[in-house]
Every structure is written in structure tokens, then in C-alpha cells.
Amino acid sequence: MAEKKEKKEQKGNVTFADIKAMYEGGMMGLTSRTLDIAHAYKVSSFKTKLKNAYQEMDSRRLQLVKDAGIEDGNAFDKRLRELSVNKQRTEAEEQEFKELVAKNEAFRGLYDQLLQDRYEIEPKTMPFGEWMKLQEANKDVKFGNCEVLAYFETILEGILWAAPEE
């Protein structure tokens, strides 16, 4: 019994990579108009939690930029692009390029770690039958070539929908 409870408690625990994929992958475009009010609210609540998680991730990302020694991300990216296409750099430009590359690699490492950090989304699940209605109503919302809810179904089990009792 304790094992089942532990598994249940982990269901709302997702990575920031999952958050990023869901937020940027179409989950914010879901409609819940075909569900009853209580279940439609769960979808709305989930979208709010997803937005808040994404904003927290982005706030952390901006701090990582500073932590990597980058003061202005846009100016940094522009200068790195300029130097990377210039194959005839002066000695000073070569040194600057190496420093920018090192800072960029430091940021990428920190950002990759951030994407693996876990975030807790409080579960508010709907029955599987309502989940199926939600999928049908949103079959045209795509993540790449796949229906968005089908793509994220395993991540959302225990967060937005619950398996039927056996």
C-alpha cells in the first residue's frame, strides 16, 4: 500500500523539460468546452499551473544567463554570431571569441541542468472518460504531427487524468 501511495505522490512531479515542451507544444491552446464545468475547470487550472511553471523556469533561465557571466543576452548572441562567421579574426577577436564560447558553454550546461530539475504540479484529475472527451475535442491541436494530448498522455496521467479503477 505504501508503494502505491509513493507512486501516486510522484505523479505531479515533472521536469522543466516537460513543462517547456507542453507549454511551447500547444497545451495552452486546449479547449475544454465539451466537458462539464468541474472537469473544464481542471483543464483551466492545469493551464494556469503550466503557465506559472513555465514563467518560473524562464525566470531561472534569465538568472542562469547572469550566472554564466552574460550581462545582455541579445548583445552576447549578436556578438557571438558576428565572431563565429568571421573566419579571419584578429588576435583580440579570437580571444574574445574563445571567452564568448566558454560563457556560452557554461550557460548551456547550467540550462541543461535546469531542464532536468523537477517541478511539482498539484494533480487535479478527471476520469478517463472525460479525458477521452477532451482528446476528441482537441484532436486538431498538434505537437509536430501528433495530437498534443496523445503526445503528452503519459506525462499527464495522474496530473490531469486518472486511470479507471480495475
Residues 95-135: pLDDT tens digits? 999 999 999 999 999 999 999 999 999 999 999 999 999 99
Q: Is residue 134 part of a domain?
A: yes
Domain count, the chain: 1
Q: Return the higher-pLDDT residue of 101 and 165.
A: 101
Q: Is residue 124 part of a domain?
A: yes
The pLDDT of residue 12 is 83
Q: Is residue 39 part of a domain?
A: yes
The pLDDT of residue 10 is 52
Q: Is residue 123 part of a domain?
A: yes
Is 53's pLDDT higher than 90? yes
Q: Is residue 3 part of a domain?
A: no
Q: Return the higher-pLDDT residue of 48 and 166.
A: 48
Is 9's pLDDT higher than 50? no
Residue 64 main-chain phi, psi, to 5 deg: -65, -35
Q: Is residue 2 part of a domain?
A: no
Q: How far is CA 76 from CA 1, 72, 99, 103, in A?
A: 53, 6, 11, 10
The pLDDT of residue 165 is 83
**pTM of structure:** 0.86
The pLDDT of residue 63 is 97
Domain that includes residue 52, residue range: 9-158
Q: Is residue 82 part of a domain?
A: yes
Please enumerate, as own/partner, the contacts of 50-53 that have beta carbons within 8 Å and a separation of 24 or more: 50/19, 50/22, 50/23, 50/121, 51/23, 53/16, 53/19, 53/23, 53/119, 53/121
